[in-house]
Amino acid sequence: MKFEDLKLSAKTLESVRNLGYEEPTEVQAKAIPKIIAGTNLIVRSQTGTGKTAAFGIGLIERIAAGTTTKALVLVPTRELALQVCDELRKLGLPHALNVRAAFGGQKLVYQIRDLQKSYDILVATPGRLVDLCNRGTVYLSKFNAVVLDEADHMLDIGFRKEVFGILDNLPPERLTLLFSATVDAEVKQIASRYIPNSELIEVGEMRTVSSIKEEKIEVPHAQKVSKLLETIQLHPGVKTLVFARTRKGVMRLKRKLEESNIPHVGMLHGDMEQPKRTRMIDRFKTDEIKVLVATNVAARGLHINDVELIINYDEAEDKLTHMHRAGRTGRMGAEGKVITFVSHDAPPLQQRGQQKNKEHRSYGSRHGGSGHTSHGPSGHGGSWHGPGSSGGSGQGSDGEGSGFGGSGHAGHGGRRQSQKHPKKVWQRGHRRQR
């Protein structure tokens, strides 16, 4: 199939050409015509399948045709907000569309100034969006299309109340598109409550099994650092992402690699300020950094297309996280390799400071247990709403507290005001701030 077969406008065809996309991916071929036709969708697709351009092209075509006036894209993390915003800007360039981003960790005053200008698409993380709504900077009533990107991740890291509250306050007459790697009971609950008459699209992975080679290496706990050095030295000049469980672990490994004269080492974890994280990702993208040591903050959604080697220095906490880590390589059908260190003598997680590690909580482990293998960790059934609900765990990726009170509707105002009439509180919150 060609992009021309999707009956896109000449301007969108131009941007697709400029981006070097030769033909639509499966999710694009299936979803774009439905989005243009105004069908609500639940799309099961991984990152790496071209899902951003799928909803991006669909929305842009609708905005260009006037069927959508303003679109909101909700994403779980700052990194994803930046990436999605970047891709939508490129896609919307020939149409002169304005795409803006709002996410925690960036100075609120700049975002408020930015959002006072006009825009067609807003890409936002839920916590920051709630904050901006309560300050009267963003009015949800103006959006008639919403995308929930990586909905499963958004729920996993504790944004359930924010997402529900945002959906409650959007106009009922709207297009709703939900993209998720997994369609579990919670995602289905959102669909039945907020996405009427939706169609389900299921997409196979872009990565073929053969394009990612997985290897498991048994290493005594005490020898993991030297094994890491050896593995990296065996792959000179190879773009490598090393996953460690904790921020401390990341910092320690980076130091060890540098002390051993491994060149071009960088690190990424949730304690780093956003501009630093963005710079680090850019340097990794442009090959200035060849070995990036990271926590699970890098496991999801990063558009780094040519990571050749993933080393799970610490095993992922569950199968889904493992899958997302592995998904950083072998993108768009390229070859990739995943090496996982398995240490049967590893001390229990608690002794390694596991319980105290905020980032670990934030990035979606539902299991404290260790001892699983890279291929067969136990399933991840059962829903997990984050410790003490949304505020705490959401902070890890959004840098924001929960904006909604107990009702799931009230917004920041909900904490300060009566929650008897949550919708009113939300609206009053807007007026109070104006």
Q: Which residues bind ligand AMP (CB under 6 A)?
A: 21, 24-25, 28, 47-53, 303, 305, 332
Residue 378 Cβ vs ligand AMP, minimum distance, rounded to whole Å = 27
Closest C-alpha among 104, 8, 10 to residue 56: 8
Q: Residue 40: which region, alpha, beta or left (left: phi > 0; alpha: psi -120 to 50)?
A: beta
Residue 414 Cβ vs ligand AMP, minimum distance, rounded to whole Å = 34
> Which CB atom, from 59 or from 265, has the smaller least distance to ligand AMP?
59
Asked if residues 395 and 159 have their Cβ atoms less than 8 Å apart, the reply is: no
Q: Residue 204: which region, alpha, beta or left (left: phi > 0; alpha: psi -120 to 50)?
A: beta
Residue 71 Cβ vs ligand AMP, minimum distance, rounded to whole Å = 16
Residue 402 Cβ vs ligand AMP, minimum distance, rounded to whole Å = 27
> Which CB atom, from 48 or from 266, has the smaller least distance to ligand AMP?
48
> What is d(CA 201, CA 275) in angstroms, rounded to the nearest whole number?
36
CA 248-273-385 angle, 5° bins = 70
> Which CB atom, from 120 or from 149, has the smaller least distance to ligand AMP?
149
Residue 391 Cβ vs ligand AMP, minimum distance, rounded to whole Å = 28
> Which CB atom, from 229 or from 334, has the smaller least distance to ligand AMP?
334
> Which CB atom, from 52 or from 137, has the smaller least distance to ligand AMP?
52
> What is d(CA 201, CA 178) in angstroms, rounded to the nearest whole number?
10
> What is d(CA 74, CA 300) in angstroms, rounded to the nearest whole number?
15
> Which CB atom, from 21 or from 119, has the smaller least distance to ligand AMP?
21
Residue 308 Cβ vs ligand AMP, minimum distance, rounded to whole Å = 16
Closest C-alpha among 186, 124, 152 to residue 45: 152
Q: What is the dihedral of CA 165, 169, 170, 172, to 10 degrees?
A: 110
Structure tokens at 385: 């709403």
